[in-house]
A and B are shown apart, each in its own frame.
Chain A
Amino acid sequence: MTRLRRSMLFVPGNNPGMMSDAHIYGSDALMFDLEDSVTLREKDAARLLVHHALKTIHYGECERVVRVNPLSTPFGKADIEAMVAAGVEVIRLPKTETAQDIWDTETEIERAERKYDIPVGQTCMIAAIEGALGVVNAYQIASASPRLVAIALGAEDYCANLKTSRSLEGSELQYARGAIVVAARAAGIDCIDTVFSDVNNEEQLIKETRMIKQLGFDGKSVINPRQIKPVHRVFMPTREEIMKAQRILAASREAETRGSGVVALDGKMIDRPVVLRAERTLELAYANRAVFEEEEA
């Protein structure tokens, strides 16, 4: 089963109260932040805190991601070394503009893996694209390293870079979102949408999540545990979709048993992409089982 990244919960890296129970809310991934949410004078303390939390707290099924400071700052190298030493699953690189940013980060990750006897290549990467240059170079970034599992859009910096501001309908992000989805798919990796900042506006959060799901995104970054369930609901397939997917996969298995390369259902030929989509639907259905059970209770 492929890893689901419907929701990635931001957790400030210098807040131990939030770090100790961040995994109980059910997000697919946790992103501990050493960058924007940590003041300059607390960078050292946050690095120590996240390192020790990663080595001690069992975060269950949540994917453990750390957003490090850029290598152009005095903190980037030490962040990467400390997180790799702690066994982090994914390093999230902020403000990625070129493939060179990926290669430079990869060099530091590999150095740390060798130093701490971690298998080289084990630590994955996510690149956050937060500016016009990053969007222009999206495919080069997405395909720069086999460590990359996803690219993500960071809209606040992107809008500032574009000399515009964020709107509810998100017209200013249309191009970037489209470019990032296409780049991710061309490179065969996931894509994660930016945060929706108004935690009290669930209706708009759902609207935006529906839109980015339709564009092809795999998930969304969230800044509050309250946003996780609405996002997961949007990514939950309908009963009709699930039943259809089950029938498609049954037909596919039957064709395989017969040794036939042609899959047919209700007199129609089923293409390979339809089978893959059906598999994805059932993966999402399985991941959402808790929501179904809760609704039925």
Chain B
Amino acid sequence: MRVVVRLVKSVPPLAAALVVAMLGMGCGGGGAYPKHDALGSGESLTQAGALNARNLAELQLHHSRAVVSPQPWAAYWWPYVGSGIANGWRDPDNLAPADKYDRAYRGAHEPLADWERARHGPGLANVASWWGHCNGWAAAALMVSEPRLPKFINGVSFGVRDQKALLAESWMEFSGDFIGTRVDEEKDLSSAAFWDVVPAQFHLVLTNIVGKQNHGLILDRHTGHEIWNQPLVAYDIAPITRDDYLGSHPSYPDIYRVNVTARIWWANDAIGPDEITPPFDMEKLHEEYFDHFFPGRLLRYELWLDAPAEFDAQGKLVRSGDILITRRNDVYVGGAWKNGINPALLAHTHPDYMWVPFSQQRSSGYKNPRIDDQWVRANIGEPAH
């Protein structure tokens, strides 16, 4: 952990941002709560915690790092310019996942592969190179166990690639909860949509939703207009010391400012379609941002508190105010991102938006309406565990 702090303090923001920008390719906590109270019904797995959900020092003490469990899996993102999941790339029989589905599916249906080529293919109007199945894969990677072995279904061989591709298609539409306004304009680097998710939301979601509740979380790692949904695998917030404390500004005496540095890692969607995801190892990847399976990013930001922070003799944070956030005219305000100003790099800094999937939904015409979700669930998808 000391290494983290040293790195952060010795690298100028521009250099740090350079590292940040070169990351991506392609589209809780431990401890044990007392066994149970009068109304409990079994052993608890969570870290304790009737803690103040907004208090920086308490969150830092209990939830400064977490690895999501079950671990989300990495995959391939099946871009539209390659015909989505109707692409037989690298398949031994040169058959696409959609073609195999059409052969194995016993009920009457219109071909999945035809729709895929027409609507998730290169001929789609205005198709951009980054359009693909990252959203469906990201949701499936949280909700369904990773397919790790080939399967025969109705006499048709489905490799890992085929199973992952069908899961990505099946989860293209879902219910869920989102935070952050999506950036839609290519050159937008200044709007409120660009600057949210704001640091207070980012910090509170990481610590309360992922850290405290062990909810899986998906983030659009591209700050700008492109969308690259990635399931978060882990985060680690560096220790907050006296050197990070900025105190209050003379003109704004009610607000106390503190610098924070966080590392995040996500599952990659640009691996080979048949590859299997290894276990995530935070210690091994702590200084690594270019891992094949788990790319990462270093983010710096300032949080604003409603009371001063206090530090012990060693300079470690021991008490603090609560994290402040407010909303005015649907614009969120809470802290400041500090990842430089270079336009080319800014697009690869804080998440554009973040979300948690709840469940699959039927196609509204966006995902392939010819896929039978129930068939996919019965033959491929097992809940993540």
A and B: real partners? Answer: no
